[in-house]
Amino acid sequence: MTHAATANTSAQTPLRIAVLVSGSGSNLQVLIDAMQAGALPIEIIGVISNREDAYAITRAKDAGIEVAVLSHVESGKRMGIKTFEAHANEQLVAWQPDLIVLAGFMRVLSGSFIDNAPAPMINLHPSLLPVYKGLDTHQRVLQAGDRHHGCSIHKVTAELDAGQVLTQAVLSVDINDTAERLQSRVQKLEHKLLPWTILLLAKNVLSLEVDSTSSQATNYLPTLPLQLLITS
């Protein structure tokens, strides 16, 4: 298995990234724009979508990026998770990424797929993990009357939304917020958090090998997650 933190030691070598998507792909677009502008030392080598109607597919194709559509509903028949994972693994092995990014990818992946993937995986989640794993995070924040909300990027492990949190961006919930408004505010944070996190990984400032309990992290590095103060 190649690792982002170890495979990309040269500053000149772009980090090879595969992105998994299910929807609009606005986060993918941010990475495409940053790559094309030379602002991020990455090469997006391929995109996998589990939905054939995802606008992310258009964004990737417009940028000349290879796309694999592994639709979860093919000819009216749902593709089982095992079949999806077999095809996705084959595709990822062919692409040989250094890092796999789940950006709005809405299918739950099995532990064996994650463990056998050819690169480590990170996921973007719209809550301040470890609170509000799973769906409907904005609604749950409002129902609980929380004062703060935001998004997290974490390592993907077999347990849903439970891997080591790497980075977070935080906002204050205000009196006018509805679930829709919070979604839009959090998404603006995601668009900044994702490229910053990938830059830190590409430059080996953040490591997917180090967790917050290791002596290296506790003695020399700030405790994870890194919280980025992003003001709008």
Catalytic residues: 125
Residues of span 104-133 touching ligand GRF by CB under 6 A:
104, 124, 126
Residue 108, phi then psi, degrees to nearest 5: -80, 130
Report the C-alpha dihedral over residues 229, 27, 42, 127, rounded to 10 degrees: 40
150 binds ligand GRF (CB under 6 A): no
- Cα–Cα distance for residue pair 210/5, rounded to 1 Å: 10
To ligand GRF, the closest distance from the beta carbon of 149 in angstroms equals 12
Could you tell me which stretch among 11-19, 22-30, 167-175, 219-227 binds ligand GRF (CB under 6 A)? Answer: 22-30
Q: Residue 221 or 228: which CB sits closer to ligand GRF?
A: 228
Q: How far apart are CA 155 and CA 124, in angstroms?
A: 9
Nearest to 126 by CA among 178, 81, 179: 179
Residue with tokens 């298995």: 1
Query: Which residue has its beta carbon closest to ligand GRF?
Result: 104
Nearest C-alpha neighbor of 161 from the set 211, 99, 102: 102
Q: Which of the residues 39 through 98 are near ligand GRF (CB under 6 A)? A: 56
Beta carbons of 114 and 91 less than 8 angstroms apart: no
Rule CB under 6 A: choose which of 2, 96, 139, 187 binds ligand GRF: 187
Our CB check for ligand GRF shows the closer of 105 and 207 to be 105
Select the residue interacting with ligand GRF from 23, 63, 96, 131 (CB under 6 A): 23
Structure tokens at 94: 């062919």
Residues that bind ligand GRF (CB under 6 A): 21, 23-27, 56, 103-104, 124, 126, 187, 190
